[in-house]
Structure 1
Amino acid sequence: MSDRSAAQASHEDTERRPGTAHTGDVTISSASPAATAQLRPRAANGRFVRTTGTQDEDADDLPGDRFLDREISWLQFNERVLQLAADESVPLLERARFLAIFASNLDEFFMVRVAGLKRRIATGIAVRSSSGLEPREVLEQVARIAHDLTGMQTRIFEEGVRPALEDEGISIVRWDAIEQVEKERLEEMFLNRIYPVLTPLAVDPAHPFPYISGLSLNLAVILINPKTGKEHFARIKMPPSLPRFLQVRRASATVTSDLFEARFVPLEDVIAAHLDELFPGMEVHEHYSFRVTRNEDVEVEEDDAENLLAALEKELTRRRFGPPVRLEVERDLDDHVMELLSREIGVTEDEIYRLPGPLDLRGLNEIADIDRTDLHFAPFVAGTSADLAPAESSKAADLFGRIARQDVLLQHPYDSFSTSVQAFIEQAAADPYVLAIKQTLYRTSGDSPIVDALIDAAEAGKQVLAVVEIKARFDEQNNIGWARKLEHAGVHVVYGTVGLKTHAKLALVVRQEADGLQRYCHIGTGNYNPKTARLYEDLGLLTADPEVGQDLTRLFNQLSGVAPRTKYKRLLVAPRTARDGLLERIGKQVERQERSGDGYVGIKVNSLVDEATIDALYRAGRAGVHIDIWVRGICTIRPGIVGLSENIHVHSVLGRFLEHSRIFLFGRGKDREAWIGSADLMHRNLDRRVEALVKVVDPRHVEQLHDLLERAMSGDYTHWSLAGDGRWTRIHQGEDGQPLPDIQAALIAMHAKRRRKARR
């Protein structure tokens, strides 16, 4: 650990050099390759290059270099995750978790984005991106940045997080550093739990080089036959069913010390120490760990698939055999072993990442789960929304009665998902007056109470429709399982519209009441997943408004049948009306600015990539419209450029909760509009998915949404700010040098206060 004076020197340097974030023992500069790659944008002949049909056809009045590169922007997002891992003000085990999140994010980036770039180059269909870069140029920059970021990850782990963990009695130790009694305990574990599931694979004329599955951790073992002196190569795959790190106890451990101490040994170290058990009669010359990342995106041609479910299941079996896009190896790997691996796996030098062990730091999630409340974020338990809380605590809330009286705007995880959305579906399933339930399912949890409620409803004789998106990336296998389970229970399961993913978050309940049929609706920004609802920040609207009920009825009919000419009153639905509806409202703010000088657009999304929307925002900003953008991840707009975007401001917030909601605000005062929904501003969302945005009409809720965005954009809370050159700057200290508060902590307190006030 660096001493306090060194940390202070880094802080002072931060103050002198804008674009640098002091994050404890490690100072991360936004002038790293992830930032500087954006500084010199290129466009063909200095003009805008049209690469999709979604870009503004009249863009010649806008500069050709107005878009940042989306792949580099994503890497910058993951760099922000690293900054949280390095920040000493973040609880220690949460810093370890941020390292694991960074590793998992990077895996997915290579599996999908890098693999996609390579595929387009290989098939000859590659075109310049809107940033003006050729795919090969993007690939080269991505490789350079990814190498830099993995080096940064290593430094944060080795110089910051790991020593800090050791100071707290939590150690990740290699085999040679543990006590004899610990070795004996691990040897017993090896013989009983590990050895039976290992399959060592030798390479010789009778055994070709084995296929290395994607994301598997492996040992490359060099063996010598003592009789012939001949060298042999073998590969051992770490069983994914076993923990990444094995916990052991010291000989001197006591009940008290066990409460505060934890020692972990990497799984590969335990296996490497017992290689003689796996290769009796051979001499183990050397061994190294390595890991391969492959193209794991799934492509299914729906028009040619008679049964989408069966076609997808078949495609998932092929996923393991995708082409390699990255090879991670231990830094001290012998050159001749490196040559063998790179040749047999088929990777280039740029695709090889030499790192100190242990590899695959996703396993830090296991360590981050240690029950040490002093090293985690302060405990937080979501409360029931003030608009849904029962008058008497011993009674369950009558959700239908409350929703019939007024719309309810939910913000998870501050408002409990289980006592709102989950309770809404469960009450609908149990209510004898409910006739039908219709719901979309994109991702859900392992033991899903939502799925169980739909099954209960179907078994009770209710009409139940589930639109299951079985192509939700990396959840395909889970969703196939839920689809079959629902079908077997009598639920009508459909897979949406051919060629489009159904990403909208919708639930419709039809109930027989004294004055006729009443429709109750939920439209959200997040998945119907009780587990992620405790970690993801999302919004949801519960309403009995007849217009919304009619809109959802029409949309579900479109998803389950044929209704190409459907029109909606309070919804914008992609791919038909979402983009056009948003562009129309941005345009109206230009008119408002010209008329009254108070045009305003506020946007909160996960990603902002869509060129047509960005061009509309540029024009609105040029006209004087004030534009606030709160984005979590990718952002390709250039804010703050004189003559183009000086009225556009972009902030990002990362923290204990994953900011996931989407909000679209237009105008100020009594004429303002507010929308929430499932769509990010990306081509895939607006062109290739069924997405739904709903207009929020209750003035209280409109005010809440405006207040939320104003808080995030005020500069009063810790955030990252984007500059026109592509640099993200972390701002976490006020002008007085004091730490800025965390907006998520402020929202926890605000919602708790709102609930207390409602109980009085």
Structure 2
Amino acid sequence: MPRTKKTTPQVSLSDPQYFFNRELSWLEFNKRVLHEATDSRTPLLERLKFMAIFSANLDEFFMVRIAGLKKQVDVGVTTLTPDGRTPSEQLDAIHRILLPVVIEQHQHFQQVLRSQLVEEGINILNYMDLNQEQRAHLQNYFEQEIFPVLTPLAVDHSHPFPYISNLSLNLAVLVKDPETGREDFARVKVPKVLPRFVRFPKKLRQQYQDKLAVWTGVPLEQVIGHNLESLFPGMNIQEYYPFRITRNADLAVEEDEADDLLLAIEQELRKRRIGGSAVRMEVQSTMPHAMRRMLRQEMGLKKSDIYEVEGLLGLGDLMSFLELPVPELKDPVWTPATPSRLRSPAVEEDLEDIFSVIRSSDLLLHHPYHSFTGTVQKFITQAASDPDVQAIKMTLYRTSGDSPIVNSLICAAENGKQVVVLVELKARFDEENNIVWARKLEQAGVHVVYGLVGLKTHTKISLVVRRENHKIVRYVHIGTGNYNPKTARVYTDLGLLSCREDLGADLTDLFNFLTGYSRQRSYRKLLVAPVNLRDRMLAMIRREIEHCRQDSTGRIVAKMNSLVDPEIITTLYEASQAGVQIDLIVRGICCLRPGVEGVSENIRVVSVVGRYLEHSRIFYFHNGGQEEVYIGSADWMRRNLDRRVEAVVPIEDPQIAKDLQEILGIMLSDNRQAWDLQLDGSYLQRHPAEDTQKQCSQKILMELAQENTGVA
């Protein structure tokens, strides 16, 4: 593509018109998630999964982002965002844009997906549609399993309005005393300890296509609602309506004031379980206005905080249907491959000594295409039992509840090795899990560190110190994703295994920075936030500008989760004006406006939303033919560049650099799950022409992983 150099008059690149709003851009991302739930090309149960993901995403958005904006409004903040909006204006815009999308989601589930599920033998029935035998079964189930755990809460002069917990599904019940004729309100919480959807036994399932249905059942709240007489004996049940509450769930920990950070976060977690102020109420469209007004007033909510929907609330619970044994309604099973270098060609089994492989040359890992168990987990597990390994150091931001890596670290400590783990207690919504593992590690003799005051440790790094032939060799893993075997199956992430001396020395310095007293300001190879990452990224963008000004080629390709930082964005605009060709692969939030004449006409932004969550970060700079490629844990966001500890590593192995460029090329060529960001902030999904071959990047990468391991 020929370069387009600026010929228009000078403009202010910080003008709000050149920035998209962060929150509204996130809503556009979640719309793309919802599209996967409505796309007929997506397998049916996977559509339910995307319905659930859309809902879970929204829950977190309200608990954190909306809650934060409301706090700003309450304390009178009027500071403008880069796109020129106040907190109040953002809330208004969010509600205006989001409400019709939520209505669309519920209508599609009610009117389309439920009937399609029936056609496949999956019947989510309404209680009113049940026969007598099914009702009798549910009444018995109610009495045996549900009734004992329910607690009806009355509201009257002697009973104040009950506290409604965060993300709880509730029934608002109107009861009438037959003796006095007085009507009263009561609340019944739908218990989370029971399955949201009550399944019938085989004998009570419907038939479909001359065979037994795969699944037949009803929502739990309907079973409770049609048995309320047991909770209010002697009273007449007038009506009941489900409603759901979302509260502020962000932690507020003043680290400077916390003598014990672990204890302080535990206390905040207890507050979160109770919940902060309410930020949203979801109700069914059938709820009378008088009842929703009463609930709204008791919750301290505004009319704009009420989301009225058709049908079931809390569609995040649809995720449970992915467990049904109907593989034809799901994505094909993918078994992650082990890289060929980690397999013995003679017997086609995993090699025992991962260190010898790393010594021969650097190794690139790409999850979930490559096995996490057979690579990263193997690296730590082998180090834990290797008698030549003297120390293991690593960071844990998020890990699974049954983490084999944590167990390996405990084993290493028990084997007498020096083990240091930095556990990030402030990893949002994983704080409780991290506290559990931190205590378990400490009890096993692991040196546990909780990070730096004012900074989250988000970097994904491991360092293994090994004695070989009377000298110390340091092995490193530097990645883009968490040390979590569960998310490694659904997030795309990259990792580098290496024993390069300069990287080993850099990680040693970085761990000393994290665990001790250090003002380390320079690293041999690593780009580290908040030390030098921002400055180096800006310098490399400006270097491309200089190449263009010297009549050479300027080229940048960057893949990340989010692009928000104003300084990075304005520098990219300067690069575009100079003629640098820029392709950005940004899965989620993108505040940069591409395609603006005289500002960003040389910038293109694509988002890929598919089976796997795109989580890897890759940065490519042409550098006048001396190409440079980096991977790491940081997005181009203020928090990653300034308020988190991040590590980005240069790729010096020519073959790995080529492999990463190939990944970028495959992503940019996607015409199945790729969306192009438009000038107005909307996204347009690519569709291949009739005579064009379909290019699904994630499918292509799976096929390449199989080819590279010799798997047919």
Structure 2 counterpart of 1:341: 295
Structure 2 residue runs without a partner (length 5+): 1-9
Structure 2 counterpart of 1:363: 317
- Distance of 1:255 and 1:338 partners within structure 2: 39
Structure 2 counterpart of 1:120: 72
- Give the alignment's Cα RMSD to 1 decimal: 1.8
- How has the CA–CA distance of structure 1 residues 255 and 510 changed in structure 2, closer, same or farther, with 3 Å as cutoff? farther
SS state at 2:562 partner:
coil
Structure 1 residue runs without a partner (length 5+): 1-57
Structure 2 counterpart of 1:508: 463
- Picking from 200, 204, 221, the partner of 2:173 is 221
SS state at 2:483 partner:
coil
**Alignment of structure 1 residues 293-692 onto 2, 5 Å:** 293-319=246-272, 320-391=274-345, 392-394=347-349, 396-667=351-622, 670-692=625-647
Match for 1:210: what amino acid?
Answer: P
**Alignment of structure 1 residues 154-233 onto 2, 5 Å:** 154-233=106-185
- Distance of 1:679 and 1:743 partners within structure 2: 22
- How has the CA–CA distance of structure 1 residues 259 and 428 changed in structure 2, closer, same or farther, with 3 Å as cutoff? farther
Question: Aligned-pair distance for 1:111?
Answer: 0.7
- Distance of 1:174 and 1:739 partners within structure 2: 44
State whether residues 127 and 222 of structure 2, in contact with CA within 8 Å, keep that contact through their aligned partners in structure 1: yes
State whether residues 283 and 309 of structure 2, in contact with CA within 8 Å, keep that contact through their aligned partners in structure 1: yes
Question: Aligned-pair distance for 1:737?
Answer: 6.9
- Distance of 1:99 and 1:308 partners within structure 2: 37
Question: Aligned-pair distance for 1:597?
Answer: 2.7
SS state at 2:377 partner:
helix
Do residues 71 (structure 1) and 26 (structure 2) align? Answer: no
- Distance of 1:252 and 1:585 partners within structure 2: 66
Question: Aligned-pair distance for 1:575?
Answer: 1.0
Question: Aligned-pair distance for 1:716?
Answer: 4.5
Structure 1 counterpart of 2:237: 284
- Distance of 1:200 and 1:183 partners within structure 2: 22
Question: Aligned residues, how many?
Answer: 700
1:420-466 CA distance string (max 9 Å, x none) = 00010000001111111001000000110011000111111111001
Question: Aligned-pair distance for 1:243?
Answer: 1.2
- Distance of 1:270 and 1:63 partners within structure 2: 56
- Distance of 2:562 and 2:16 partners within structure 1: 21
Match for 2:338: what amino acid?
Answer: T
Structure 2 counterpart of 1:150: 102
Question: Aligned-pair distance for 1:64?
Answer: 4.0
- Distance of 2:45 and 2:691 partners within structure 1: 26
- Distance of 1:736 and 1:247 partners within structure 2: 44
1:61-117 CA distance string (max 9 Å, x none) = 554411011100000000001111110011000011100000000111111111111
- How has the CA–CA distance of structure 1 residues 695 and 243 changed in structure 2, closer, same or farther, with 3 Å as cutoff? same
SS state at 2:17 partner:
coil
- Picking from 685, 688, 694, the partner of 1:740 is 694
State whether residues 165 and 245 of structure 2, in contact with CA within 8 Å, keep that contact through their aligned partners in structure 1: yes
Structure 1 counterpart of 2:3: none
State whether residues 103 and 310 of structure 2, in contact with CA within 8 Å, keep that contact through their aligned partners in structure 1: no
- Distance of 1:269 and 1:483 partners within structure 2: 41
State whether residues 480 and 495 of structure 2, in contact with CA within 8 Å, keep that contact through their aligned partners in structure 1: yes
Do residues 105 (structure 1) and 57 (structure 2) align? Answer: yes
1:623-646 CA distance string (max 9 Å, x none) = 111101001100010111111111
Match for 2:31: what amino acid?
Answer: E
Range with bigger deviation, 664-673 or 625-634: 664-673
Structure 1 counterpart of 2:87: 135
- Distance of 1:607 and 1:451 partners within structure 2: 29
- Distance of 2:130 and 2:30 partners within structure 1: 34
Identity %: 48
- Distance of 1:74 and 1:650 partners within structure 2: 15
SS state at 1:756 partner:
coil
Question: Aligned-pair distance for 1:156?
Answer: 1.8
- How has the CA–CA distance of structure 1 residues 417 and 61 changed in structure 2, closer, same or farther, with 3 Å as cutoff? closer
State whether residues 199 and 215 of structure 2, in contact with CA within 8 Å, keep that contact through their aligned partners in structure 1: yes
State whether residues 544 and 623 of structure 2, in contact with CA within 8 Å, keep that contact through their aligned partners in structure 1: no
Range with bigger deviation, 258-267 or 547-556: 258-267
State whether residues 580 and 602 of structure 2, in contact with CA within 8 Å, keep that contact through their aligned partners in structure 1: yes
State whether residues 547 and 623 of structure 2, in contact with CA within 8 Å, keep that contact through their aligned partners in structure 1: no
Structure 1 counterpart of 2:663: 708
SS state at 1:387 partner:
helix
- How has the CA–CA distance of structure 1 residues 484 and 462 changed in structure 2, closer, same or farther, with 3 Å as cutoff? same
1:607-656 CA distance string (max 9 Å, x none) = 00000101111111111111010011000101111111111010010111
Question: Aligned-pair distance for 1:136?
Answer: 1.1
- Picking from 238, 244, 261, the partner of 2:214 is 261
- Distance of 2:172 and 2:303 partners within structure 1: 19
Structure 1 counterpart of 2:6: none
- Distance of 2:400 and 2:598 partners within structure 1: 48
Question: Aligned-pair distance for 1:483?
Answer: 0.7
- How has the CA–CA distance of structure 1 residues 252 and 727 changed in structure 2, closer, same or farther, with 3 Å as cutoff? closer
TM-score of the aligned structures, taking structure 1 as reference length = 0.90
Range with bigger deviation, 737-746 or 427-436: 737-746
Match for 2:134: what amino acid?
Answer: E
Question: Aligned-pair distance for 1:179?
Answer: 2.2
SS state at 2:550 partner:
helix
State whether residues 507 and 523 of structure 1, in contact with CA within 8 Å, keep that contact through their aligned partners in structure 2: yes
Match for 2:607: what amino acid?
Answer: S
- How has the CA–CA distance of structure 1 residues 596 and 258 changed in structure 2, closer, same or farther, with 3 Å as cutoff? farther
- Distance of 1:596 and 1:488 partners within structure 2: 62
1:289-347 CA distance string (max 9 Å, x none) = 00011111111000000000100111111123311111101111122211211111111
Structure 2 counterpart of 1:87: 39
Match for 2:698: what amino acid?
Answer: Q
State whether residues 182 and 250 of structure 1, in contact with CA within 8 Å, keep that contact through their aligned partners in structure 2: no
- Distance of 2:626 and 2:471 partners within structure 1: 34
SS state at 2:340 partner:
coil
State whether residues 632 and 654 of structure 1, in contact with CA within 8 Å, keep that contact through their aligned partners in structure 2: yes
Question: Aligned-pair distance for 1:272?
Answer: 0.9
- Distance of 2:470 and 2:631 partners within structure 1: 30
